[in-house]
Amino acid sequence: MVESNLLLILLILPFAGSVVAATSPANLRNAEVWLSAAVSAVGLGILAALRGHVTEGGVVEKTIRWMPSFGLDFALRVDGFAWIFLVLILGIGLLVVIYARYYLSARDPAPRFYASLLAFMGAMTGLVMSGNLILLLIFWELTSLVSFLLIGYWHQNAQGRDGARMSLIVTGAGGLCLLAGLLVIGHVVGSYDLDTVLASGDRLREDPLYLTALILVMLGAFTKSAQVPFHFWLPHAMAAPTPVSAYLHSATMVKAGVFLLLRFAPVLNGTEAWFWVVGGVGMTTLLLGAFFAFFQHDLKGLLAYSTISHLGLITALAGIGTPEALVAATFHIINHAVFKASLFMAAGIIDHETGTRDMRRLGGLRHAMPYTATLAIVASASMAGIPLLNGFLSKEMFFAETIEAHDNSAFDQAMPWIALVASALAVAYSLRFIVSVFFGPTTTDCPRKPHEPPHWMRFPIEILVAICLLVGILPGATIAPYLRTAVVALLGDATPDYSLALWHGVNAPFVMSVIALVAGCLIYALLARHVAAAPEGPPVIRRLEGQRIFERMLLALSWRWMRALHRLLGTERLQVQLRILVLMAAGAATATFLRDPPTWAPLSLANFDPLFALVWLVGAACAIGAAWQAKYHRFAALVMLGGAGTVTCVTFAWFSAPDLSVTQLLVEIVTTVLLLLGLRWLPKRNQAIRDDVEFRARARRFADLIVAVFCGAGIAMISYTVMSAPLDREIATYFLEHAYSLGGGTNVVNVILVDFRGFDTFGEITVLGIVGLTVFALLRRFRPARESDDIPEQQRIQRDYEVTAEHRRPGETLRDYMFVPSVIMRWMFPATIMIAAYLFLRGHDLPGGGFAAGVALAIGFLLQYLGADARWVEDRLRILPIRWIGFGLLIAAATGLGSWMFGFPFLTAHARYLEVPLVGKVPFATALIFDFGVFTLVVGATVLVLIAIAHQSLRSKRDRPPEEEPDPDLAGPEAEVEEEDGWRGGSA
């Protein structure tokens, strides 16, 4: 139990540390280092405590049920194999933290670095600990994301950004393939639980989807582990700070891919497809990586290609897939992590202390930094596979595996030869690394004078090199038990007998090692000078850069093809889009009717009322008139729109919907006034627009007319059919029967809104509030068009007349012509408030309610703005509509939450009658409080919109440069009146 909780701590610790690191101030650099080191050290301590539980196939598990219905558990699982990975992740993480302390300069932001590093550590920890495929994928993607941040840590330089983006795209795309692959596996096995999947190897291999799953999972692993042809991102990721490269490309990121390979090897391998795909890719990568590495001039570039090559070696071993090969692969993962981390760190020191990483400019550094030189030489020797070092041991095992016959194909026959060539190249590039940097004439043209780094910067390398030596000389006493733990966890009963001894006698692998060593030295001796003189990159195929192909593809995919597709299919024109939308809607409806024709009701004039028909004759005329006139006669169209609205309102009243009628009437008033206010800002009528006379425009309008008539006729048919059909009133009956007994109100519509379906109403008023705020934000940002700034023509004529006329003073008419209405409007204000209160209070029992009352009160405010200038009103009446909105929402939400206190679900209403002295029995329902929230919000939102539009004319003058100010004669308050919209806007 304790140990399973330790797993949780192990996972949470780095993430918690990351949050702390990210939020601490930038000047606490040492504190960040201590924090990160402590996180890794505690993690290592936990691992030490878990050690006893994972030997001999033991597994520590911790499962938290997450979404069991989807087979998704938060399952953590550490066996010996995961354990050894965790040691690498946290151990090398600790060393990298120490190293980075000295590597990063004081200018580099420490919080971001350590926060990303810890987050990455956490993601890797989670990845290897996942006991569920989906969880594993989540952490897998997390490593891609965080590595993006780490590689692009120096985002000020373009290389860092490009490298980060490239690695994210490649590994992210691989992650998607992996997701698909894991889903296929989960589908075949019937579970996403790792233990179940690991036990279902036979079922998987026999399934017809096996190959699909294999390819998809492999795409994930290959992209992550930089296998050919996806290897190109890794050298570009070298733009990262060296501690990041040392961490990501030795022990963690790229090892995630081979971790996955080995994890699934016992389940997926044993088939020809596995051998050819994984083995083939691995061998190719091994060879090409080593070949490319030899031709690099950049130290880190050489190490990057060497990493690719070694990952290819591990992949090839996984592809061979025998238990012995998997042992060798696991062993080489450990060894490679150790020597490659130390080499990256050494390269970083060289870069740090000399200012360059170009091997052609470096030389003779053994004099200036003898310790670092010694350490680097030992580590490179391990990379080359020299005896007495750890790299030698796993390489011998690899040789032994390649010699074994597998399927006797040409590829199988070629394997030892490929291994031999790659190994010779490894010797050659290791030699090049050592000789060109530490030997030869002492460098003179370095940006900095080389010297030894601070001791603690070298310390991590010392540790790692010591491990190289210890494991290399005394494998049995050092690494053997740990390796056994890992291998037993991986292979179980299939664990082979293997020997880690240094000396197995003169056998084939040893002979191969010797040949490789000699051949490598020869290659170096023959080619070194030639390579140093040539441009960077391998000969012949130098121009065939993965990066360039990648960028071409990216450009084509994300830009050229998309542009072409956009040109072909897209449009920026709203009319076209709306036409498509309308046609799709009409088409969908038509298709439904064609497939499943309804029984059309016979036309009948049952209960025909000539008065109603007459009302709608007017209504239809208004609608058509509005449609006809909206272009050039906006005001007329607005009046007719109002007419159609009023007829709608009458219809509601006619057919027993008084609530709708009241609300519609009030909303109609507000809408009309709003549109009137808006008319001021529209451009003048322009009949010269070519559109109207051209044949194409006419044709388009004719087509639109057909579409419109079709839609109208269709909806008329549907409504007639539905209206003539009988109705199942089950829901209606429920609401009617329970409105009073449960909701305490006799106005059923209102009870439905504020009680039965209160949550819908809550959502709706939220929308209304958002609209109010959006309007406010939009109009703060934008200014009216310039041509609307001038005073309207009518006012100008009036002004000119007043200037010349003897008995008139300028501005007089404009000031006074609305005098009587404005007084009336002012006096109407208290009455409007009364009406609103009346509508609100009767709402629960009679037509009215929060919406209607809110709009009514908003009309009260609106009248004040209409009757006088905005300044005048605001000097006397302080309206804070945003607060009204806020309070309204708060009241409604609080009423809803209040029901929680009594143990009921959100927005459960309560109704009762209260005995009030003198007045008597008064109905009281919590729904009324909710309705009050609705009321407040509706007032706020409506008034906010009105004020925002009204203020347009204030700001249009205020924010212009002074020379555009209108005539000072007219600049007094109330000097400006709109003929068209009857609204007075003041001006500065």
Partner 1 sequence: MELVLSLAIGVLVASGVWLLLRPRTYQVIVGLALLAHGVNLFIFSMGRLRTGASPILSKEGAVAAGAYADPVPQALVLTAIVISFATTALFLVVLIAARGFTDTDHVDGKESD
- Binding residues among 91-130 for partner 1 as defined by CB under 8 A: none
**Nearest distance from residue 890's CB to partner 1, in Å?**
19
Nearest approach, Cβ of residue 283 and partner 1 (Å): 59
Q: Which of residues 912-971 bind partner 1 (CB under 8 A)?
A: 938, 941-942, 945, 948-949, 952
User: Residue 812, interface with partner 1 (CB under 8 A)?
Assistant: no
Of residues 534 and 627, the one with the C-beta less far from partner 1: 627
Provide the token pair at 19. 């949050």
**Based on CB atoms, which residue is closest to partner 1, 782 or 819?**
782
Closest distance between partner 1 and the C-beta of residue 658, in Å?
A: 5
Cα separation of 121 and 146, whole Å? 9
Q: Does residue 792 touch partner 1 according to CB under 8 A? A: no
Q: Does 579 bind partner 1 (CB under 8 A)?
A: yes
Neighbours of 902 (CB within 10 A): 9
Region near partner 1 per CB under 8 A, out of 273-281, 482-490, 658-666, 823-831: 658-666
- Asked if 987 contacts 971 with a C-beta cutoff of 8 angstroms, the reply is yes
User: Among residues 380 and 646, whose Cβ is nearest to partner 1?
Assistant: 646
486 SS3 class: helix
Cβ at position 648, least distance to partner 1 in Å: 5
Residue 349 makes contact with partner 1 by CB under 8 A:
no
State yes or no: residue 876 binds partner 1 (CB under 8 A): no
- C-alpha 541: how far from chain center: 38
Residue ranges in 533-562 that form contacts with partner 1 under rule CB under 8 A: none
In terms of Cβ atoms closer than 10 Å to its own Cβ (0-12, 13-18, 19+), residue 543 is: exposed
Backbone phi, psi, residue 130, to 5°: -60, 135
Site size toward partner 1, by CB under 8 A: 119
Provide the 8-state DSSP code for 360: T
CB of 859 to partner 1, least distance (A): 12
Please, which of residues 705-734 interact with partner 1 by CB under 8 A? 705, 707-709, 711-713, 715-720, 722-724, 727, 729, 731-733
CA distance 464 to 88: 11
Distance CA 482, CA 201 (A): 26
Q: In the window 408-427, what residues touch partner 1 (CB under 8 A)?
A: none
Place of tokens 């702390």: 20
Residues 590-649 that bind partner 1 (CB under 8 A): 603-609, 612-613, 616, 619-620, 623-624, 626-627, 630-631, 634, 637-638, 641, 644-645, 647-648
775: contact with partner 1 by CB under 8 A: yes
Using CB under 8 A, pick the residue from 223, 242, 269, 761 that binds partner 1.
761
Q: Are 428 and 520 in contact (CB under 8 A)?
A: yes
Pair of tokens at residue 222: 């290959």
Q: What is the smallest separation between the CB atom of 550 and partner 1, expressed in angstroms?
A: 37
Determine, following the binding rule CB under 8 A, whether residue 573 of this chain makes contact with partner 1: yes
Among 787, 806, 915, 959, binds partner 1 (CB under 8 A): 787
Nearest approach in angstroms of CB 720 to partner 1 is 4
Out of 549, 578, 823, 831, the residue judged to bind partner 1 by CB under 8 A: 578
Widest Cα–Cα separation across the chain? 127
Distance CA 299, CA 305 (A): 10
Nearer to partner 1, 528 or 707 (CB): 707
Q: Which range, of 121-129, 500-508, 785-793, 967-975, touches partner 1 by CB under 8 A?
A: 785-793
Q: Which stretch binds partner 1 (CB under 8 A): 184-192, 417-425, 665-673, 875-883?
A: 665-673
Of 472 and 619, CB closest to partner 1: 619
Residue type for position 72: L
* 126 phi, psi to nearest 5 deg: -65, -40
Residue pair 362/439 in contact (Cβ under 8 Å)? The answer is no
CA distances from 938 to 229, 852, 985 (A): 62, 9, 24
Residue 784 binds partner 1 (CB under 8 A): yes
Instruction: Single out the residue of 510, 740, 829, 906 in contact with partner 1 (rule: CB under 8 A).
Output: 740
Q: Which is nearer to partner 1, 26 or 916 (CB)?
A: 916
| Residue 161 contacts residue 150 (beta carbons within 8 Å) | no
Closest distance to partner 1 from the beta carbon of 586 (Å): 9
- In this structure, what token pair is assigned to residue 208? 């017809």
Q: How far is the CB of 962 from partner 1 (least distance, A)?
A: 20
Q: Which is nearer to partner 1, 296 or 664 (CB)?
A: 664
Residue keyed to tokens 């002979």: 511
User: How far is it, in rounded angstroms, from Cα 548 to Cα 540?
Assistant: 16
Q: Which CB, 171 or 664, lies closer to partner 1? A: 664
Interhelix angle 390-403/455-473, nearest 10 degrees = 40
Q: How far is the CB of 608 from partner 1 (least distance, A)?
A: 7
What SS3 class is residue 63? strand
Q: Is 71 helix (H, G, I), strand (E, B) or coil?
A: coil
Instruction: Report in angstroms how near the CB of residue 759 gets to partner 1 at its nearest.
Output: 12
Q: Does 568 bind partner 1 (CB under 8 A)?
A: no
**Nearest to 418, CA basis, from 399, 435, 431, 397:** 399
The string of DSSP codes covering 634-694 is HHHHHHHHHHHHHHHHHHHHHTT-HHHHHHHHHHHHHHHHHHHHHHTTSPPP-TT-GGGTS
Contact 260, 224 (CB under 8 A): yes
Q: Give 600's contacts (C-beta < 8 A, 6+ positions apart).
A: 717, 721
- Interacting residue with partner 1 among 173, 589, 639, 771 (CB under 8 A): 771
CB of 974 to partner 1, least distance (A): 23
Quick note: the x/- pattern for partner 1 over 670-699, rule CB under 8 A, is xx--xx--xx-xxx-----x-x--------
Among residues 412 and 980, whose Cβ is nearest to partner 1? 980
With contacts defined by CB under 8 A, name the span among 93-101, 426-434, 796-804, 841-849 that binds partner 1. Answer: 841-849
In this structure, what token pair is assigned to residue 470? 């210890």
Half-sphere exposure of 86 (CA within 13 A, CB side): 33
